[in-house]
Amino acid sequence: MNSFQGSTNRREFIKTTGKSAAISALATVAIPPVHAGGSDLIQIALIGCGGRGGGAAANALSVKRGPVKLVAMADVFPERLANDLNKLQQQFASQVDVPRDRQFLGFDAYRKAMDCLKPGDIAIFATPPAFRWVHFTYAIQKGLNVFMEKPLTADGPTSKRMFALAQDASAKNLKVGVGLMSRHSRALQELADRVHNGEIGEIVLQRGYRMHGPGGYFLSLPKPAGITDLLYQVKRFHSFIWASGGCYNDFYIHLIDHLGWMKNEWPVKAQALGGRHYKVSPEGVAYVDQNFDVYSVEYTYSDGSKFFFDGRCMNGCEEIYTSCLHGTKGMGVASKSGDCGLPSSLYKSQTATPGALIWESKVRPDEKDPYQNEWNDLMDAIRDDKPYNEVKRGVEASLVSSMGRMAANTGREITFDEMLRCEHEMAPDIEKFTMDSPAPLLADANGRYPAPQPGIVTIREY
């Protein structure tokens, strides 16, 4: 995978961001390489006990190469922690040992959970993405291996910070997995080999679609009483760009990531359309989230070839959720349905007709789940002490997502370089958040948050 030119120039990051400088200094602290070899017990702390956090913990406790135990959990909402704990206890009774004094709540809970681990153990980050760099900084200080969910960043300054942290983690021989599970789909791995070997010629066009009804926290009504602005925005993170990159980054990154992988580079620029159509609830209340209902993005690669991405969250319309690539000698289907749904296939024509089929993936039953594969792969790297760090490409995929989103939100063409250098840090001082902190977004008198206005607000996204 080629990298964005200059994007990982560490010296420049240190020069351009004070925080990066402070973080990068960690790399010089002499801590011996740590890994849990052989059959040592590896302990896990779960930070962010929601849907995916619970899923990632279950994958961790199901790895082929144990023994593994969940020993600490952290969240900002007690009911979320209790819910995941209960489910995990039922499924993995002998591997879950999280007594009350290892259950932590609040914005500093991540520290307390990681303090329960020893170097070489694993911290899982499954909070909204805005907190990634904060949690990763502490994990590196503590000599912990990490599994962190996608996306990794939503803006330029934190992307620079994460690039620097990725280098610090590698310098300490820490293993870091990133939840872009397409990369661990055995079908997509074989597809990438075949495409890179030229089986459908040069890639000249790619298409990605994620179009379905509103899901997750895509839509939000004005904040109700009884919850702070900050906690409301954290809870409904798909609605707020600072917390997650909005639905664009959160929902679309998987297809963007694996199509970039197939092309073997990242797009260099994007121009895009987007709009808000139905932003009133059936009861007539205006939704206050920052998402567009539709996004149509034209990404361009360095050779001029295009990748078109369409995203829509709207009921009653055609539902399409797939990714395709077209080469000079045929086409491929990467994800048949969903983020990386089986099978992947190659055709000698430009349409996916059975008569033109060249290859269709066949995956062993025990390797069909990419969420489990990514954990088996991470654990193998830890147990065998093999280099393993997926953060750089995870940040790059996050930046390409942000580039498409920013192009739609501003109405301007945005280059990868401009996205990286954009100085709008969307959640400044997030590392100091307490339960009483003001939220990064302030509502107006009607409870509305600033929404993107293409053509009007063009230097920042809102």
| Minimum distance from residue 440 beta carbon to ligand NAD (Å) | 13
| Minimum distance from residue 40 beta carbon to ligand NAD (Å) | 27
Contacts (Cβ under 8 Å, ≥6 apart) of 292 = 248, 274, 275, 276, 408, 409, 452
- The answer to whether 10 contacts ligand NAD (rule: CB under 6 A) is no
**With respect to ligand NAD, which residue has the nearer C-beta, 180 or 203?**
180
| Minimum distance from residue 245 beta carbon to ligand NAD (Å) | 9
> CB–CB of 153/146 below 8 Å?
no
- The answer to whether 110 contacts ligand NAD (rule: CB under 6 A) is yes
**With respect to ligand NAD, which residue has the nearer C-beta, 200 or 425?**
425
> CB–CB of 132/153 below 8 Å?
yes
User: Interacting stretch for ligand NAD, rule CB under 6 A, among 123-131, 168-176, 300-308, 354-362?
Assistant: 123-131
- The answer to whether 131 contacts ligand NAD (rule: CB under 6 A) is yes
Q: What is the DSSP letter of 224?
A: P
**With respect to ligand NAD, which residue has the nearer C-beta, 151 or 330?**
151
**With respect to ligand NAD, which residue has the nearer C-beta, 103 or 344?**
103
CA angle, 170 then 385 then 194, to 5°: 80
**With respect to ligand NAD, which residue has the nearer C-beta, 109 or 382?**
109
> CB–CB of 212/231 below 8 Å?
no
Binding mask 19-58 for ligand NAD (x = CB under 6 A): ----------------------------xxxxxxx-----
* Among positions 126, 192, 297, 395, the unique one binding ligand NAD when judged by CB under 6 A: 126
Please give the distance of CA 208 from its chain centroid, rounded to a whole number: 17
Site size toward ligand NAD, by CB under 6 A: 27
Binding mask 68-107 for ligand NAD (x = CB under 6 A): ------xxxx--x--------------------------x
| Minimum distance from residue 127 beta carbon to ligand NAD (Å) | 4
- In which element (H, E) is residue 52 found? helix 51-61
Binding mask 139-178 for ligand NAD (x = CB under 6 A): ----------xx----------------------------
| Minimum distance from residue 182 beta carbon to ligand NAD (Å) | 9
* Among positions 177, 179, 404, 452, the unique one binding ligand NAD when judged by CB under 6 A: 179
* Among positions 43, 117, 128, 173, the unique one binding ligand NAD when judged by CB under 6 A: 128
Burial 388-427 (b: 16+ CB within 10 A, else e): bbbbbbbbbbbbbbbbbbbbbbbbbebbbbebbbbebbbb
| Minimum distance from residue 113 beta carbon to ligand NAD (Å) | 9
Q: Which of residues 312-371 bind ligand NAD (CB under 6 A)?
A: 339
Binding mask 262-291 for ligand NAD (x = CB under 6 A): ------------------------------
Question: Tokens at residue 320, please?
Answer: 């399409």
Length reported for the chain = 462
> CB–CB of 265/422 below 8 Å?
no
DSSP per-residue string spanning 107-143: TTHHHHHHHTS-TT-EEEE-S-GGGHHHHHHHHHHTT
Tokens 């990868």 found at: 416
3-state secondary structure of 229: helix
Q: Torsions phi, psi of 287, nearest 5?
A: -75, 145
| Minimum distance from residue 76 beta carbon to ligand NAD (Å) | 5
**With respect to ligand NAD, which residue has the nearer C-beta, 10 or 111?**
111
3-state secondary structure of 308: strand
| Minimum distance from residue 53 beta carbon to ligand NAD (Å) | 5
Q: Compute the distance between CA of residue 376 and CA of residue 14 in angstroms, rounded to an integer.
A: 34
Amino acid code (one letter) for 260:
G
- The answer to whether 112 contacts ligand NAD (rule: CB under 6 A) is no
Tokens 């078109």 found at: 308
Helix, strand, coil shares of the chain, percent, nearest 5, are 40, 20, 40
| Minimum distance from residue 80 beta carbon to ligand NAD (Å) | 3
- The answer to whether 181 contacts ligand NAD (rule: CB under 6 A) is yes
Residues of the shown chain interacting with ligand NAD in the complex, contacts defined by CB under 6 A: 47-53, 74-77, 80, 107, 109-110, 126-129, 131, 149-150, 179, 181, 234, 250, 339
